[in-house]
Amino acid sequence: MPLYFYGEESMRNNVGLLILCVFASLLFAQGVAAKALRSPVQTGSEIIIAKGDIPTPEKYKQVTATYMDYVSENIENMICQLNNVKSSLKVNNIASAQVAYVRAHQYYEMVRPIVRLFGHTDRVINSRSDDFLDGVKDYRFKGFHLVEYLLFNQKNTQVALAAVDELLMNSNDLARRVKAEDIDIAKLIQSSADFIEMVLETKISGKENRYSLSDLADIAANVKGSLYIVDEVKPFIPKDSLTPILHNYSEIMVILDGYKLNDNEYKLYNSLSSKDKTKLYSVLTQQAYLLATLRAKLNLDVYYKY
């Protein structure tokens, strides 16, 4: 049995370890090289680096600019009606405050899908009590539906005044943000379908305004908001796609007009007949599908292609 000095044995171990490390490095390098070989090599002037939303094509820029003016106008009208709510509450006129509330919420619903693009703004302004485990007692329950609850259920003018003040503060902030923002055409087109989806999600079943029962007014607001977008891009939509979309809007409005009291006022949701509710649901479902295909019809890309 050969004998080694301590220094020789240590050297042998270090050499072995070095060989092992070199071998492992070679294997890793081969793996990386293999992956690199499998990746396409991009050259030339056609390379696009991801940098956020695709810019709106020039031909749609007037459409998006006009639409943002429309959003600002509706937000301003909403704020005006909220101030009417506040004025009515100060003189203890609950009935007048209730009317102003419904109108304010209609203006909000005319542009709500766009508000949803501003992060959590919609949740602050328009959260419902059933969004929270503690319902109406939850400290996060605020905005339109807290005001609605206090006006129509509790009829508490003093607490409602404080809730309206907070809603006005957030609404004024929203108005400033809208004036500074723009929207790309792909998101605008998608919003036309989002309006209809919102009706199908809550309003068709009367869940949006459970205290004021004003869902028919909000359904009309959502449909008008959706139609406004389609009217703006109408020249770009192929005729065979546009015709059924416009027909569906007409059918929806005929049903809703049967419940219309005057310009912006509708009967209470519980007056909606089962027959009309079923028909409305059917036409709205068809419309949501047709509007969801518009981006493809207009050949609008949402993401950069590689």
The pLDDT, as a whole number, for residue 291 is 97
Residue 240 pLDDT > 90, yes or no?
Answer: yes
**Which helix (H) or strand (E) is 84 found in, with range?**
helix 61-90
Q: Token pair for residue 30? A: 């081969």
Q: What are phi and psi of 60, to 5 degrees?
A: -100, -5
Mean pLDDT score, 201-206: 95
More confidently predicted of 264 and 112: 112
- Could you tell me the sign of the dihedral formed by the alpha carbons of 42, 43, 46, 52, in that order? positive
What is the rounded CA–CA span in Å between residue 269 and residue 236?
Answer: 36
Contact 102, 205 (CB under 8 A): no
CA angle 303, 65, 60 (to 5 degrees): 50
The pLDDT, as a whole number, for residue 304 is 45
More confidently predicted of 17 and 41: 17
DSSP E strand stretches across 119-189? none
C-alpha gyration radius of the chain: 29
What is the rounded CA–CA span in Å between residue 147 and residue 273?
Answer: 28
The pLDDT, as a whole number, for residue 135 is 86
- Concatenated DSSP letters of 119-133: TTHHHHHH--GGGST
Q: Token pair for residue 290? A: 């047709």
Residue 39 pLDDT > 80, yes or no?
Answer: no
The pLDDT, as a whole number, for residue 106 is 97
Could you read off the pLDDT of 128-180 as tens digits, one per residue?
Answer: 988 888 888 888 889 999 999 999 999 999 999 999 999 999 999 999 999 99
What is the rounded CA–CA span in Å between residue 164 and residue 250?
Answer: 36
Mean pLDDT score, 22-32: 52
The pLDDT, as a whole number, for residue 146 is 96
Mean pLDDT of the chain: 86
Could you read off the pLDDT of 46-61 as tens digits, one per residue?
Answer: 544 444 557 889 999 9
The pLDDT, as a whole number, for residue 27 is 52
Q: What are phi and psi of 179, to 5 degrees?
A: -65, -25
